[in-house]
Amino acid sequence: MSLHDVEARSSQEFKASVLGAYERGERAISVPRLMRLAEIYEVPADTLLPRDAETVIDLTETESINQGFTIDLTQLSDSDDPEAAVLARYAATIQLQRQDFNGRLLTIRRDDMRVLAAVLGRRTEDLPTRLDQLGLRASA
């Protein structure tokens, strides 16, 4: 199915240009939109995410993660961990979407957590602990 086919099938809900930006990694997708896009393609949502064969991504709802958390952008920019580099790219995308370039802290919302965990190949509930290990979480 072409990007224009998806645009037509979704009644313009997903523009071809936006879909292309998702594919190129130039734009982040929220979990609800990812789920909706998976419905249009008639596939499980995790098939639309990049991963290696050994990574298992759980996109089921969880009650243990009800709120987001805050990332220290200063610590993030100082980190040389490969996962921090991925997080930095994702954080930059969030800042761009929100037009939030003012502070040294960035709030990661619940939906952002799910996508970020999937991108990092981790379970959502494990993400805060990993970010604590990296010294990137500003608050619990």
pLDDT (mean) for 126-139: 86
Residues 64/127, Cβ–Cβ less than 8 Å: no
Question: Which amino acid belongs to residue 45?
Answer: A
Kindly tell me if the per-residue pLDDT of 63 is higher than 50: no
pTM of the model: 0.50
pLDDT at 54 over 70: no
Do residues 28 and 115 lie in contact, with contact meaning Cβ atoms separated by under 8 Å? yes
Confidence of residue 16 (pLDDT cuts 50, 70, 90): very high
Structural domains in the chain?
3-48 (1.10.260.40), 69-139 (1.10.10.1930)
| Contact yes or no for 25/105 (Cβ under 8 A) | no
The whole-number pLDDT of residue 8 equals 93
